[in-house]
Structure 1
Amino acid sequence: MMDAASPVSASEHALAEVVELARLMEAKRVQRPKLIGPGGETLELPEPVFHLLHQVVTVLARGDAVTVVPVHKELTSQQAADLLNVSRQYLVRLLDQGVIPYSKTGKHRRIRINDLLTYKRKRDAQRQADLDELSQMSQDFGGYSQCS
């Protein structure tokens, strides 16, 4: 059995099946989704579980890996830095500036994944807005030539 926090991805062999499953989940609006076990037993899935599975299948179909982590899980500063793809020193600076909430266990900082993902969404949205503005400014000032 895999560690709950280990990333899971679809093998090359299974990718086509995952892509087809994603297409079917998107196309069919099932009233009461069900899970059928290896012995034929049927379990009705609560709607939130179905939506989570749909999200997982969609990500796997893109060829990405998925990790399911409880939102209250706490990360070390190195784990948080890795998730944001920044240095640990930069992350610690953000923590010390109060940009991302954290707690301390002894001398060690712990960051709730939910707080980290909230920061990441805001950061990514701001980056996209800045990029859009820069693109627009470049167009406005004739930075892109029209190709014929």
Structure 2
Amino acid sequence: MTTLSPARALPSAAEVALARESSRTLSAYLQTRAETQQIEIVDDQGAAHPVRVPVSALRLLVDLLTEIGAGNAVSIIPIHAELTTQDAADVLNVSRPFLVQLLERGEMPFHKIGTHRRVRYQDVIAYKERIDVERNKVLDALAEQAQELKMGYE
């Protein structure tokens, strides 16, 4: 079973600066049609070790560095991961009891392992995308109504 690592602290100023620089440098090598790229890792003795990586992994690394360069802490979760109710609630930024209510109302699929509920990460993300679309529709309707009523939005 895949578990989420505990929340990391925000990156330090030095990590942010280094991540920005690394992201810019690596992104120049994403404009390739090759399926792999070779990078070098330098060990403590200064010896370089070449490593071939898929370009898709290099893109992910650039995305990761870009987020850290913006001062964000980052977590990577496999799409097929199964989350506890607390982990799923954390992804949605809701309380665990609220998430359990969503599950029991059938708004998101889940299964049980013994007495414990498990939710697939991709189902949590699909739910989040669905409610974000609904939320944006309501916000658009409210903005349109405010414009019609000339409430200062033009």
TM-score of the superposed pair, with normalisation by structure 2:
0.78
Q: CA deviation at 1:28?
A: 5.3
Q: For the Cα contact (< 8 Å) 1:5–1:69, is it kept in 2? A: no
Q: Indicate the residue corresponding to 1:22 in structure 2.
A: 23
| Larger strand percent | 2
Q: 1:137 aligns with which of 120, 139, 145?
A: 145
Q: Indicate the residue corresponding to 1:37 in structure 2.
A: 41
Q: For the Cα contact (< 8 Å) 1:94–1:100, is it kept in 2? A: yes
Is there any run of 5+ residues in structure 1 with no aligned partner, and where?
Answer: none
SS of alignment partner, residue 152 of structure 2: coil
> For each residue in 1:59-108, what CA deviation from the matched residue of structure 2 results, as whole angstroms up to 9, or x when unmatched?
11221111112222211112211221112222111111221111101111
Q: For the Cα contact (< 8 Å) 1:6–1:67, is it kept in 2? A: no
* Alpha-carbon separation, structure 1, partners of 2:138 and 2:27: 32
SS of alignment partner, residue 48 of structure 1: helix
Q: Indicate the residue corresponding to 1:101 in structure 2.
A: 109
Task: Percent identity, please.
Answer: 33
Is there any run of 5+ residues in structure 2 with no aligned partner, and where?
Answer: none
Q: 2:57 aligns with which of 4, 25, 49?
A: 49
SS of alignment partner, residue 33 of structure 1: strand
Matched, 1:115 2:123: yes
Structure 1 range deviating more: 42-51 or 20-29: 20-29
Matched, 1:128 2:136: yes
SS of alignment partner, residue 45 of structure 1: strand
Q: CA deviation at 1:44?
A: 2.4
* Alpha-carbon separation, structure 2, partners of 1:47 and 1:126: 35
Amino acid at match of 1:12: A
Q: For the Cα contact (< 8 Å) 1:81–1:87, is it kept in 2? A: yes
Amino acid at match of 2:74: V
Amino acid at match of 2:24: R
Q: CA deviation at 1:42?
A: 1.7
Q: Indicate the residue corresponding to 1:10 in structure 2.
A: 11
TM-score of the superposed pair, with normalisation by structure 1:
0.81
- Matched positions, count: 144
Q: For the Cα contact (< 8 Å) 2:30–2:59, is it kept in 1? A: no
Query: CA RMSD for the aligned pairs?
Result: 2.4
